[in-house]
């Protein structure tokens, strides 16, 4: 139902003016959803990240000696394994050269190899002509363009490096070029959305698309080093945007690189957050903020090897963050006695691997290798995309390659087969561990907002309470009743109903018949409706205009930061529900009927299991199972509802079975794409 874009908010009225009969008789006009705390979630996450930043920078400032710097790098290497997880085994590459393009100063070989069994990578290898081998090698990672290795910037640096004497392998990232994964999507998914679709889903099985992207590049290096034309003493990596991300993660994971040039990515996590810049799933490496890491740390693992950061003045990746990262690295390199091996190249251009950035990369690599004295990009001839194809019709799927979601589905099935049945106590412990729920002590403080009239709720009067669930975080709770109330909730009623909203308790109290049904069925219960953080009254107004339901919008944005903070959004919202239940107990209620819908059913399910106060549960439009999402090609449940590696220990059907003891009622369950 469409809600009229008019907003009727009235000033507080005298009690004599708030008669029940007059309000019941009035026909409330359509109203915009209430949203009185649109910056709350953003500022609370900013506060967390600033605290991480402060602690991490204090540690970096305390480094005084070469031994300090070396110990810091050793610690970083350990943390990288925790971020990216155990890397897969190195299986046979099974390389194929399926075609060769001859040009005046180089040839382009069309290469296919398997980075994992059944997972083909399409690439172009630029091999110089008329040179004495071996020569330096470079792996080129592409940014977010549908044509990937065939896009002009990536052809350009492939050709430019080859003309200067580098053997260069430019490969298609997953979800791009000849490796698109979702041919059945209508409309077609962009490269960004392909990464989100695959990466969010992988969360459920304990995988990370950050690792998958980096692993493709590591296997590209493996292939490059099989070539006799390549000198293993000089192997570099470069890329821009998403390719700059992949370059950075590759630097963190493989010690064989001897030089690097990440472009249009390096800044700080804090700058991206504060500037409301959503990033791809691979740009939210799990646990990274919880471990005190920032962009510079992923490069610091390579120290003291030569690195140039390529940054653009007009980029949306804040160049102030690039300056900060560079200064931190410069200090580390200085302590290691290699300050000249770190550099920052600033281009006056906008986002992208501009000619200025490519030339900055050429000059840096030439300085390191001595293979050329060129300062500018040589003349180029851009090939047609079809010319560079490694497959007959531009899809590795034609050759039997599997998409990422096939691997996720397979792992979900394996986890289900190996999982053991948990006792109720073990299930609750697994939920607390998976959601990273913090300890709860005492009862939360709360504020009382002035009443708003004519909302059209099933009961004529509403009082709003702002319950502080964590420092800087509030859940908004509305109490509905037949008479006005301006103070704390009235004592005397033992039982309460708590409704946890799908997207807005204000809208759902007016439009969803479930609310009226529950109120009618329980006239002796006190009815409350709750918006957890980032929902309804605290729906963020960040990341662009009306971006909330966008897959790249604020709900995803803060869920991604939750992964990096090792505090998933599903856990944060479950904590909100639990704190509201603590507050209801403080208000004198001794039992609660917990009712929830859609997205709200996720935290409500877990809170119902963990709270002894909850005696009855009703869930409408709840997700049937996480396994179904993990095994689907396309799905619609957002990252904020998913839990890292949940399928290794439990799934929602087990939770629903355990809730049968609390008189669970389930209405119109939703599947992966509901």
Across 561-580, average pLDDT = 98
Preceding peptide of 187 cis, ω within 30° = yes
Q: Is the pLDDT of residue 9 over 90?
A: no
Give the angle subtended at the CA of 274 by the CAs of 269 and 277, to the nearest 5°. Answer: 75
**Tokens 């004198």 — which residue?**
588
16-30, 31-45, 336-350, 601-615: the lowest-pLDDT one? 16-30
- What's the pLDDT tens digit per position in 460-502? 999 999 999 999 999 999 999 988 888 888 887 899 999 999 9
343, 349, 353, 359 alpha-carbon torsion, rounded to 10°: -50
Strands across the sheet containing 167-171: 96-102, 106-116, 119-128, 167-171, 135-141, 230-240, 259-263, 307-314, 342-350
* pLDDT for the residue 16: 28
The span from the CA of 78 to the CA of 63, in Å, is 18
- What's the pLDDT tens digit per position in 104-130? 999 999 999 999 999 999 999 999 999
Distances (CA, A) of 665 to 498, 599, 604, 618: 15, 17, 13, 5
The span from the CA of 475 to the CA of 7, in Å, is 22
Q: How many alpha carbons lie under 13 Å from residue 469 in its C-beta half-sphere? A: 28
The span from the CA of 211 to the CA of 222, in Å, is 16
The span from the CA of 90 to the CA of 225, in Å, is 14
CATH of domain 423-624+636-643+653-667: 3.40.50.1820
* Cβ neighbour number for residue 182 with a 10 Å cutoff: 18
Q: Is the pLDDT of residue 452 over 60?
A: yes
- Average pLDDT of the chain, as a whole number: 94
Task: Give the relative orientation of helices 319-335 and 66-84 as an angle to the nearest 10 degrees.
Answer: 130
- For the chain, give the percent of residues with pLDDT over 70: 96
**Tokens 């918006």 — which residue?**
531
Q: Is the pLDDT of residue 18 over 60?
A: no
Contacts by residues 400-404 (CB-CB < 8 Å, ≥ 24 positions apart):
400/118, 400/120, 401/118, 401/119, 401/120, 401/179, 402/118, 402/119, 403/181, 403/182, 403/198, 404/174, 404/175, 404/181, 404/198, 404/202, 404/209, 404/212
- What's the pLDDT tens digit per position in 515-546? 999 999 999 999 999 999 999 999 999 999 88
Distances (CA, A) of 524 to 214, 279, 460, 495: 58, 48, 16, 8
User: Please, what is the end-to-end C-alpha distance for the chain in angstroms?
Assistant: 17
Tokens at 555, concatenated: 């709900």
Confidence of residue 217 (pLDDT cuts 50, 70, 90): very high
Question: Alpha helix locations (H) across 350-457?
Answer: 355-369, 404-418, 424-435
Confidence of residue 30 (pLDDT cuts 50, 70, 90): low
CATH of domain 66-403: 3.40.50.1820
Q: How many alpha carbons lie under 13 Å from residue 87 in its C-beta half-sphere? A: 18
Distances (CA, A) of 100 to 113, 130, 171, 178, 510: 16, 17, 16, 17, 66
- What's the pLDDT tens digit per position in 543-567? 998 888 889 999 999 999 999 999 9
Confidence of residue 402 (pLDDT cuts 50, 70, 90): very high
* pLDDT for the residue 241: 97
Domain range annotation of the chain: 66-403, 423-624+636-643+653-667
Query: Which residues lie below 8 Å from residue 612, measured CB to CB, with a gap of 6+?
Result: none
Phi and psi angles of residue 424, each rounded to the nearest 5 degrees, phi first: -55, -40
Confidence of residue 186 (pLDDT cuts 50, 70, 90): confident
- What's the pLDDT tens digit per position in 255-301? 999 999 999 999 999 999 999 999 999 999 999 999 999 999 999 99
Between 312 and 491, residue with greater pLDDT: 312
Across 158-165, average pLDDT = 98
Beta pairing partners, 594: 498, 617
Same fold, 66-403 and 423-624+636-643+653-667: yes
Q: Is the pLDDT of residue 10 over 60?
A: no
Q: What is the DSSP secondary-structure string of 58-122?
A: HHHHT--SHHHHHHHHHHHHHHHHHHH-SPPP------EEEEEEE-SSEEEEEEEEEEETTEEEE
- pTM of the full structure: 0.94
The span from the CA of 626 to the CA of 481, in Å, is 37
Q: Is the pLDDT of residue 305 over 80?
A: yes
Q: Is the pLDDT of residue 1 over 80?
A: no
């Amino acid at each position: 139902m469409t809600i009229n874009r008019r907003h009727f908010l009235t000033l507080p009225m005298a009690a004599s003016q708030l008669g029940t009969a007059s309000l019941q008789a009035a026909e409330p006009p359509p109203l915009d959803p209430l949203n009185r705390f649109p910056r709350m979630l953003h500022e609370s996450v900013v506060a967390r990240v600033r605290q991480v930043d402060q602690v991490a920078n204090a540690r970096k400032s305390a480094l005084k000696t070469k031994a300090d710097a070396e110990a810091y790098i050793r610690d970083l290497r350990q943390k990288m394994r925790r971020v990216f997880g155990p890397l897969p085994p190195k299986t046979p590459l099974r390389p194929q050269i399926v075609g060769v393009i001859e040009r005046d100063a180089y040839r382009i070989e069309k290469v296919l190899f398997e980075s994992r069994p059944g997972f083909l990578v399409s690439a172009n290898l630029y091999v110089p002509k008329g040179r004495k081998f071996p020569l330096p090698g470079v792996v080129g990672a592409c940014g977010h363009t549908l044509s990937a290795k065939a896009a002009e910037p990536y052809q350009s640096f492939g050709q430019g490096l080859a003309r200067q004497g580098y053997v260069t392998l430019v490969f298609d990232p997953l979800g791009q070029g000849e490796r698109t994964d979702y041919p059945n999507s209508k409309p077609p998914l962009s490269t960004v959305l392909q990464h989100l679709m695959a990466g969010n889903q992988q969360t459920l099985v304990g995988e990370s698309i950050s690792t998958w992207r980096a692993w493709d590049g590591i296997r590209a290096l493996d292939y490059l080093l099989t070539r006799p034309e390549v000198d293993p003493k000089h192997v570099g990596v470069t890329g821009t945007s998403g390719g700059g991300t992949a370059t950075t993660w590759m630097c963190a994971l493989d010690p064989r690189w001897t030089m690097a040039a990440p472009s249009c990515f390096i800044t700080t996590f804090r700058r991206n957050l504060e500037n409301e810049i959503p990033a791809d799933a691979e740009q939210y490496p799990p646990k990274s903020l919880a471990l005190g890491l920032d962009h510079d740390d992923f490069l610091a693992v390579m120290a003291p090897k030569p690195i140039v950061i390529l940054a653009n003045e007009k980029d949306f990746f804040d160049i102030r963050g690039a300056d900060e990262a560079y200064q931190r690295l410069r200090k580390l390199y200085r302590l290691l006695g290699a300050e000249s091996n770190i550099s920052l190249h600033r281009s006056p251009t906008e986002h992208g691997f501009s000619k200025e950035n490519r030339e900055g990369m050429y000059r840096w690599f030439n300085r390191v290798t001595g293979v050329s004295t060129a300062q500018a990009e040589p003349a180029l001839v851009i090939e047609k995309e079809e010319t560079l194809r490694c497959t007959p019709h531009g899809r590795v799927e034609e050759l039997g390659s599997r998409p990422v979601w096939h691997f996720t589905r397979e792992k979900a099935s394996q986890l289900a087969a190996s999982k053991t049945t948990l006792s109720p106590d073990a299930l609750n412990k697994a939920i607390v561990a998976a959601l990273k729920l913090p300890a709860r002590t005492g009862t939360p403080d709360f504020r009382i907002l002035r009443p708003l009239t004519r909302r059209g709720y099933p009961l004529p009067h509403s009082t709003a309470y702002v319950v502080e669930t964590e420092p800087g975080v509030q859940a908004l709770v509305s109490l509905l009743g037949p008479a006005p109330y301006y103070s704390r909730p009235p004592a005397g009623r033992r039982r309460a109903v708590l409704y946890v909203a799908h997207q807005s308790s204000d809208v759902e109290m007016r439009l969803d018949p479930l609310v009226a049904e529950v109120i009618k069925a329980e006239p002796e219960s006190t009815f409350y409706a709750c918006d957890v953080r980032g929902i309804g009254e605290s729906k963020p107004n960040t990341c662009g205009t009306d971006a909330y339901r966008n897959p790249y919008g604020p709900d995803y944005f803060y869920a991604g930061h939750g992964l990096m903070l090792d505090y998933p959004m599903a856990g944060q919202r479950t904590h909100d529900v639990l704190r509201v239940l603590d507050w209801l107990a403080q208000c004198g209620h001794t039992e609660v009927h917990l009712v929830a819908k859609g997205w709200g059913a996720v935290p409500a399910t877990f809170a119902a299991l963990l709270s002894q106060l909850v005696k009855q549960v009703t869930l409408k439009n709840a997700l049937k199972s996480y396994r179904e999402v993990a095994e689907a090609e396309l799905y619609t449940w957002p990252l904020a509802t998913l839990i890292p590696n949940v399928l290794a220990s439990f799934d929602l059907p087990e939770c629903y079975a355990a809730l049968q003891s609390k008189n669970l009622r389930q209405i119109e369950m939703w599947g992966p794409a509901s």
